[in-house]
Amino acid sequence: MSILVLAEHHDGQLAGATAHVVAAAQAIQQDSGGDIDILVVGENVATIAEAAAKLDGVSKVRVADNAVYAHQLAEPVGALLVELVNDYGHILAAASTTAKNIMPRVAALKDVSQISEIVAVDAADTFKRPIYAGNAIATVRSTDVLKVITVRSTGFDAVGTNGNASVETVDTVVENSQSTFIRQELAESDRPELAGAKVVISGGRGMGNGENFKLLDGIADKLGAAIGASRAAVDAGFVPNDMQVGQTGKIVAPELYIAVGISGAIQHLAGMKDSKVIVAINKDEEAPIFQVADYGLVGDLFEILPELESRL
Amino acid sequence: MKIVVCVKRVIDYNVKIRVKPDHSDVDLTNVKMAMNPFCEIAVEEAVRLKESGVATEVVAVTIGPKAAQEQLRTALALGADRAVHIDTSAEANERIESLTVAKLLAKVVEEEQPGLVILGKQAIDTDNNQTGQMLAALAGLPQGTFASEVKISGDEGDKKLQVTREIDGGLQTIELSLPAIVTTDLRLNEPRYAKLPDIMKAKKKPMDVKSPADLCIEVASKVTLLKVESPAERKGGIKVGSVDELVDKLKNEAKVIS
Amino acid sequence: MDFALNDIQQMLQDSAAKFIQNDYDFETRRRLTESELGYSEENWKLFAELGWLALPFDEAYGGLGGSLTDLIVLQTELGRGLVVEPYFSTVVLGGNLIQRHGSESQQSELLERLIAGELKLAFAQAEPQCHSSITDIETSAERSEEGYHITGHKAVVLGAPSADLLVVAARTSGNRGDQNGLSLFLVDPAQPGVTMQAYPTNDGFRGAEIRFDSVKATLLGEVDSAYDAIQATLNDAIVALSAEAVGVMEKLLNATVEFCKVRKQFGQPIGKFQVLQHRMADMFMECEQTRSMLYFGAITVAGGGEEASHAASMLKVKVGSAGRLVGQQAVQLHGGMGVSDELDVGHFFKRITMINTLLGSRDEHLQRLIRNAQAA
């Protein structure tokens, strides 16, 4: 049977995460066979569908474009997926807040379990996923006829964009009298998205206040980095919640992760410990972050940051 | 309006877990257990809604072994009026899948007919983030997940629920018809400490115990846990003595910057 | 015997532990000890709201009727958090004296205010010469037409600087050393004739030397007959203080074990060296034995009678010895850091050391046990 991938998109763009989910789909396909289709659901998503059609390994892009799917509310998108999913043995989506909101509805309505945040595919029915804030990795096998899966992007390398899939319309429209979109406040930024950035520099409670996060700007500019934060910094009101890296925030695995003024609580480590290279800057020599850091620099971040910026 | 709040017994979030030597599971012997932090936030929100006059009754529910009654007593001490324990001690498999939990909760919701059901967004042991959404689907109700703010508005007979949600890019506000399901995110509220007089009164509040069989739900699962491993260890790192040394290492040793 | 906590005790422990974790970390506590007041009034109000101030008092006066065992559950957590709010002086000492010896109307009025968080107390009992003897009191109370007036000198009055009322032990008849003739008085410290020299104690609390120069005082309960109430209160207090000590010792043990896993020297974590493991094993055993002794003490003291004082002394001896070993080993195994102000270990060490000097040291109680054994 074939595999359906729910495309991740926002702001009229196909999200980088989708290419990683397709990679996971390919890993499953090696064992199960079948085709990989992408489903793009939303309103005014034609360009997104075109971009999706370019992803390697995709047979078909199916597009459900209607006002009722605007903002990808869980109730209508879930209902749509339930209709479409009958021809597939697997349905995959990125472990984003959008898909995490929608996918369990699909699973429940199809009376199957969901396997969340897989980081590896062992077989078409066997997957690895983190539990206990990533302090353990569980290998699970499902005998459900439909496997509903969310994928942690950092576990799979993105596929390329030399594909040429066909695009077809999905006419199914569902009713939604239960939920209405009111408004959205998204962070405006020229910087790369945290989740997919190659370099991330994060500030913690040691930054002292929100103003001081500006000290990270120059370095982020030079390195083309995204800026993240620990939960402590978010809770203290220094920065908004969408910058939080951690067990209940974003999971990132960049090439380079620089933790500034972050102590390294388990919950934060859960969000970044798979980074290729970790640098820690903290005035407390005993801070737990130094245990995972490849390079640790003990000192006053207010002195170190300007110096680092000037040396890059 | 009645509120049903669902809580789960999990390891205390300070606990450092260890994988069993036979890799069959995580070692939970003698480990301190507690109410899932997101569930504490759920209880707090329900109690606040009662204190503000929006809700008339708060019913706390848990699915778990006998010991999970401790968490129900805590919920009662924090302000819930009644508790329901779905006792899974007799089940062959200790691990109950989210889908089964959702089915059991759907039965409770059917019986209790609440105006609002509040759950934590995820349990810190399984990190699934599924149960609330599954419950909503099974009960045919709308959902406001990862809530950082919850507001009831509207007149009698036409009440609506506004939920502000923490999403990847920032915050989203949606409006839902009632009854609805809400899952809590960390910044929804700060849970209170249980007061000793309330702790003592909690013993006298009613607690119903049912089995999954009583609710006509079979506890079965098509997902098997094959093994549990520790994640790959990171190799130890070094401390550098200066910014210059750091930049040098990043450029020439790790080769992550140019 | 089942030493597991019951539901209520478990929830009390959980909520106290949570308070310490969320709102009473080491830095917070440090700021409090360095502040002018020495503690937080907001915390005191929270304690009142949480019902902690009501815990050991009679339900007739708005208390929660908690037992000594319930109290030690809370006290252990307060020990773990090195909590400096004047709970011990107000609830365990002052409040208990009022409950045991005050008249009905005094209990009713004063305990109600205490439970509401509106009355703080300090027990002025020890004097420079008395070496923790209850009866070796020179402070005396003179009766006249205008009532009682107290003259004397009290040492190390814990919690005095923040007390609204002092509970003062004074002699109303008999000779120095007699059990009969001791009375308790309530004194408003703001009055003329009271000279208070306040100071911070080594372990983060506040105390004072107080001189009374013909100070107006109100008799608490019956005259001349306060010995039993004082004895029983001090026994209870020893148990409560020992519970704090157990919390402090267990923190010292855990901090030391964690540190030894992390501190690398001579090529490996120092915790891998067998001799240090022996030391930590010794610390663990002392903690366990003290905990057992605490339970024994709580049960026996609650039973009252002769055994109560005997058990209290034995408990205090154990706490003194074990506390010293655990405290000193913790400091040693932490190396130089163990005595630095920035690390919490040093503060736990100071607390356990001070606990030994409060309510009679290990040596004083050992002397007492020896005297009792010889008299028998």
Helices B69-78 and C7-23 cross at an angle (nearest 10°) of 70
The Cα–Cα gap between A43 and A60 comes to: 19
Task: Scan for tokens 């925030």, then name that residue.
Answer: A249
Residues of A in contact with B256 (CB under 8 A): 199, 255-256, 276-277
What is the rounded CA–CA span in Å between residue B24 and residue A121? Answer: 19
- How many C-beta neighbours within 10 Å does residue C35 have? 11
- C6-60: pLDDT as tens digits: 989 999 999 999 999 999 998 899 999 999 999 999 999 999 999 999 999 999 9
Structure tokens at A128: 């690895």
- Is C268 part of the contact surface with chain B (CB cutoff 8 Å)? no
Mean pLDDT, residues C306-328: 96
**Which residue in the set A96, A104, A112 is minimally distant from B133, CB to CB?**
A104
* Residue B167 forms contact with A (CB below 8 Å): yes
pLDDT of C54 reads: 97
Contacts of B249 in chain A (CB under 8 A): 295
Instruction: For residue B156, count other CB atoms closer than 10 A to its CB.
Output: 5
In words, the CATH class of domain C122-225 is mainly beta
- CATH number of the domain at A106, please: 3.40.50.620
Residue A213 shares a structural domain with residue A247: yes
Chain B positions touching C7 (Cβ under 8 A) are 70, 73, 202-203
Q: Which two tokens stand for residue C373?
A: 């054994």
Tally of domains in chain A: 2
CATH, residue A271? 3.40.50.1220
Q: Please, which residues 35-74 of chain B have a Cβ atom closer than 8 Å to chain A?
A: none
A268 belongs to an annotated ligand binding site: yes
Q: Quick one: pLDDT at residue A193?
A: 83
Q: Which residues contact C68 (CB under 8 A, 6 or more apart)?
A: C56, C236, C239, C240, C298, C301, C302
The reply to whether A63 and A117 lie within a common domain is yes
> Do A247 and A142 have their domain in common?
no
> How many C-beta atoms lie closer than 10 Å to residue B57's C-beta?
15
Q: Are strands C182-187 and C206-220 parallel, antiparallel or unpaired?
A: antiparallel
- Per-residue pLDDT at C131 exceeds 80: no
Shared domain check, A41 and A162? yes
Q: Which residue has the tokens 């877990």?
A: B17
Residue A92, helix vs strand vs coil: strand
Q: How many angstroms separate the most distant Cα atoms in chain B? A: 68
Scanning chain A, the segments in alpha helix (DSSP H) are 17-32, 46-53, 74-84, 97-109, 217-223, 231-235, 266-272, 289-292, 301-311
Q: Whose CA is closest to A228, among A262, A184, A276?
A: A262
**Best interface-test mutation with B: which of C13, C14, C64 has the largest number of B CBs within 10 A?**
C14
Average pLDDT along chain C: 94
Mutate one of B30, B199, B201, B238 to test the C interface: name it (highest C CB count within 10 A): B199
E strand segments, chain B = 2-7, 9-11, 33-35, 57-64, 82-87, 116-120, 143-153, 160-167, 170-177, 180-184, 207-210, 223-229, 238-240
Integer Cα distance of C125 and C168 in angstroms: 6
* Cβ(A91)–Cβ(A28) below 8 Å: no
What phi, psi does A169 have (nearest 5°)?
Answer: -85, 145
Instruction: Please give the single-letter amino acid code of residue A276.
Output: K
Task: Please report the residues numbered 62 through 101 in chain B whose beta carbons come closer than 8 angstroms to any beta carbon of chain C.
Answer: 70, 73-74, 77
A7 and A65 fall within a common domain: yes
Nearest to B237 among A73, A185, A296 (CB): A296
Angstrom distances, CA of residue C236 to CA of B15, C72, C220, C240: 34, 10, 19, 6
- Does A68 fall in a domain? yes
User: Which residues does chain C have within 8 Å of residue B197's beta carbon, measured at their own beta carbons?
Assistant: 51, 54, 64
- Per-10-residue mean pLDDT of chain B, 258 residues long, equals 97 91 94 96 98 96 96 97 96 90 97 97 96 98 97 86 92 96 95 95 95 93 95 84 92 84
Domain boundary among A169, A186, A221: A169
Q: For residue A130, give the nearest of A273, A258, A230 by alpha carbon.
A: A273
**Strand intervals (E) in C114-242:** 121-124, 140-144, 147-154, 165-171, 182-187, 194-200, 206-220
Distance CA C336, CA A236 (A): 34
Low-confidence ranges of chain A (pLDDT < 70): none
Residue A262 annotated as binding site: yes
CB contact under 8 A, B257 and A126: no
Does the beta-carbon distance from A182 to B173 stay under 8 Å? yes
Residue C68 tokens read as: 């000594």
**Inter-residue contact B3 to B118 (CB < 8 Å):** yes
Please name the residue ranges forming H helices in B22-177: 37-51, 69-78, 98-112, 131-139
Q: Looking up tokens 């109600």, which residue turns up?
A: C112
Cβ proximity of A268 and A252 under 8 Å: no
Inter-chain Cβ pairs, chain B and chain C, closer than 8 A: 46
Asked if A59 and A122 sit in the same domain, the reply is: yes
Contacts of B109 in chain A (CB under 8 A): none
Domain span at A257: 194-311
Residue A114 annotated as binding site: no
Flag whether A205 is marked binding.
yes
Whether residues A247 and A140 share a domain: the answer is: no
B197 Cβ under 8 Å from any chain C Cβ: yes
C331 neighbors C345 (Cβ within 8 angstroms): yes
Q: Is residue A112 situated within a structural domain?
A: yes
Per-residue pLDDT tens digits for A224-281: 899 999 988 998 899 988 899 987 788 898 989 999 999 988 778 888 888 989 999 9
Ranges for all domains in chain C classified under CATH 1.20.140.10? 228-375
Q: Which residue ranges form the domains of chain B, and what is each CATH number?
A: 2-229 (3.40.50.620)
Are residue A284 and residue A231 in the same domain, yes or no? Answer: yes
Per DSSP, helices labelled H in B95-140 are: 98-112, 131-139
Residue A189, in any domain of the structure: no
The nearest alpha carbon in chain A to B185 belongs to A248
**Residues of chain C positioned with their CB less than 8 A from the CB of B72:** none
Quick check: B247 contacting A, CB < 8 Å? yes
Residue A174 within any structural domain of the chain = no
CB contact under 8 A, C14 and B203: no
Please answer yes or no on whether C14 and B34 come within 8 Å at the CB atom: yes
H-run or E-run covering A130:
strand A126-131
pLDDT at C114: 98
CATH 1.20.140.10 fits C228-375, yes or no: yes
Which of B77, B193, B198 comes nearest C18 by C-beta? Answer: B193
How confident is the model at residue A273, as a pLDDT?
A: 85
Residue of B nearest to C74 (CA): B196
Q: Looking at the structure, do residues A148 and A200 belong to the same domain, yes or no?
A: no
Spatial contact of A35 and A66, defined as CB atoms under 8 Å apart = no
State how far the alpha carbon of B192 is from the alpha carbons of B33, B61, C6, in Å. 19, 19, 22
Rounded distance, CA B223 to CA B225, Å?
Answer: 7
Q: What is the DSSP letter of A82?
A: H
- pLDDT tens for C212-242 read 999 999 999 999 999 999 999 999 999 999 9
Return the structure tokens found at B213.
């069989």
Sign of CA dihedral C32, C36, C38, C42: negative
Query: What's the N-to-C CA distance of chain C in angstroms?
Result: 30
The confidence score (pLDDT) of residue A137 equals 96
Of the candidates B98, B167, B230, which has its C-beta nearest A113's C-beta? B98
A101 interaction partners in chain B (CB closer than 8 Å):
133, 143, 145-146
From B23, which residue of chain A is nearest by alpha-carbon distance?
A: A138
Helix (H) or strand (E) holding C237, with range, is: helix C227-262
Asked if A193 and A228 touch (Cβ cutoff 8 Å), the reply is: no
Q: How much is the pLDDT for B234?
A: 78
Vertex B146: Cα angle to B143 and B150 (nearest 5): 70
* Rounded distance between C-alpha atoms, residue B189 and residue B195, angstroms: 18
For residue C320, give the H/E element and its range. helix C305-333
Domain with CATH 2.40.110.10 in chain C: 122-225
SS3 of C113-136? HHHCCCCCEEEECCCCCCCCCCCC
CATH architecture designation of domain C7-119: Orthogonal Bundle (1.10)
pLDDT value at residue C140? 95
Maximum pairwise Cα distance, chain A: 60
This model of the complex carries an ipTM of 0.92
Specify whether the CB–CB gap between B198 and B205 falls below 8 A: no
| pLDDT value of position B176 | 97
Mutation to test the B interface, candidates C12, C15, C257, most B Cβ within 10 Å? C15
C184: helix, coil or strand? strand
Both structure tokens of B38: 């997101």
A113 within domain boundaries: yes
The answer to whether the beta carbons of residues A15 and A8 sit under 8 Å apart is yes
Q: Dihedral, CA atoms, C264, C268, C274, C278, nearest 10 degrees?
A: 20
Beta bridge partners of A82: none
Q: Are residues A198 and A263 in the same domain?
A: yes
* Domain membership flag for residue A234: yes
**Token reading at C285:** 């055993």
Per cent of chain C over pLDDT 90 is 88
Q: A212 and A133, same structural domain?
A: no
A196 is an annotated ligand-binding site residue: no
Q: What is residue C219's DSSP assignment?
A: E
Residue of A nearest to B177 (CA): A178
Residue A130 lies in a domain: yes
Q: Is A187 part of a structural domain of the chain?
A: no
Q: What is the mean pLDDT of residues C289-302?
A: 96
Q: How far is CA C189 from CA C109, C121, C123, C146, C306, in A?
A: 19, 10, 12, 18, 35
> Is residue B143 less than 8 Å (CB to CB) from chain A?
yes
Hey, are the CB atoms on B124 and A142 less than 8 Å from each other? no
Whether residue B200 lies within 8 A of chain C, CB to CB, comes out as yes
**CA nearest to C16 within chain B:** B193
